[in-house]
Amino acid sequence: MKRTVFVVMLLMALVGCSGFGQPTPQPLPTVVLNGGATPAPQGTGALNSGGIIASGIVVPAQQAQLVSPVGGSVKSVTALQGGSVKAGQVLISLSGSEKQAAAVAAANLELVMAQQTLADLNEQAAQAGALAQKALADADKALKEAQDNRFRKSLARVTQATIDRAQADLIITKDSLKSERDNFAKFETRPADDVGRAQAFSALSAVQQKVDQAQWNLDWLLSRPDTLEVQQADADIAVATARQAAAQRQFDKLKQGPDPAALALTRARIDNAQAQVGAAQAALADLEVKAPFNGTVIWVAIHSGEWLTPGLPVITLADVEALRVETTDLSERDVPQVKVGQAVSVRVNALNQTVAGKVSQIASLADSLGGDVVYKTTIELASLPPGLRAGMTVAVQFGN
């Protein structure tokens, strides 16, 4: 009798929800079993009376409708309805892969060439920097030599010891010259063809040459550079200074590496080539529809030779090996009493079995069911009973 009254009241409430011109009805609370008002389901592991009970359905842990981002002629379809597939497995291939593969190869070639240009820039800059450093060192050396030479122009040609020795040589040769003159005086009055006179004159002439040479040597050693020599030394310094400054500027320019403008252009070329490679690879990948996870093909709506429309679902894939439960009518009045991690009992109607589970997720946004506000709650099952299939209905009892 009580069960009949409950059913009648439920029907009246549903009729009221559709009444013409009637105010919007209040949400129906989730059915609460207590005091034996509604008997617990019979069978193995029946639900206990009391607590919050909500209806639910068994769903795959993962399910996806696969689409293609591009359109084209279908080259092949390897997905078979009811067949198992692995994550990453190609399910549909479109025509045009050869053209896209060529585009990938061309983009990779441009990338390699751009990278080689960058390597050449760095290598050439290193070589030029080394040459500039050597040129700078040579210019420094040449400048120092010019400066040293100019400094010597301001000094005596030799040391005082050398001058003293030259003076001594002059004194000795002059003394020898006096002796030879005295000797020649003995023969001077003889005829010009006299042998003795000739020998004395020859000896006198030789000594006179030595005196003249000694005098010239001493005069040279005591003299200073002339104006032309000093001017030439100053000019050498000016030239060496200019060359050293030019070498320094070149070295400063090259020691920083490749030319900034050329370097920026090459790096931009590399970035563009990398982007082209990525775009070409993505375009090639778009010609294949792959399985995003391990699962079972539920539905296939395309065949080889047909035209695939981009964005249109062509395959439904589900992971039917990993099942969970989602509630369908947990009322807004009862959801505050449900917590993530809360233990539940799940009654599988088709199998007449009850299995344990726990709340893994509570929807943040509500759904509407017959005018009621309900929240979908996801239940992870502790075990999967034999024969459990996606789509089976269940009753979920939330523990206190």
Domain ranges within the chain, ordered by starting residue? 27-61+322-398, 66-94+287-316, 105-260
Q: What percent of the chain has pLDDT over 90?
A: 59
Contact criterion met (CB below 8 Å) for 295 and 62: yes
Note whether 27-61+322-398 and 66-94+287-316 share their fold: no
Torsion, Cα of 21, 22, 27, 30 (10° steps)? -110
In terms of Cα–Cα distance, which of 172, 252, 251, 246 is closest to 215?
Answer: 172
Indicate the average pLDDT of the chain: 84
Q: Is 193 exposed, middle or buried (0-12, 13-18, 19+ CB in 10 A)?
A: exposed
CATH tag, 66-94+287-316: 2.40.50.100
Residues 27-61+322-398: name the CATH superfamily: Efflux pump adaptor protein, beta barrel domain (2.40.30.170)
Both tokens assigned to 298: 């539920």
d(CA 79, CA 90): 8
| pLDDT (0 to 100) of residue 224 | 67
Contact criterion met (CB below 8 Å) for 349 and 393: yes
Which residue is associated with the tokens 């020859």?
202
Contact criterion met (CB below 8 Å) for 92 and 71: no
Ranking 176-180, 222-226, 285-289 by mean pLDDT, the lowest is: 222-226
> What is the pLDDT confidence band of residue 4, given thresholds at 50, 70 and 90?
very low
216: number of Cβ within 10 Å? 12
> What is the pLDDT confidence band of residue 277, given thresholds at 50, 70 and 90?
very high
| pLDDT (0 to 100) of residue 54 | 95
Count of residues for the chain?
Answer: 400
Amino acid at 178: K
Contact criterion met (CB below 8 Å) for 315 and 299: yes
| pLDDT (0 to 100) of residue 207 | 92
Q: What percent of the chain has pLDDT over 70?
A: 85
Amino acid at 287: L
Contact criterion met (CB below 8 Å) for 179 and 156: no
pTM, two decimals, is 0.53
Task: List the end-to-end C-alpha distance of the chain, in Å, as a whole number.
Answer: 29
Ranking 30-39, 296-305, 307-316, 353-362 by mean pLDDT, the lowest is: 30-39
Ranking 79-93, 206-220, 284-298 by mean pLDDT, the lowest is: 206-220
d(CA 138, CA 244): 8
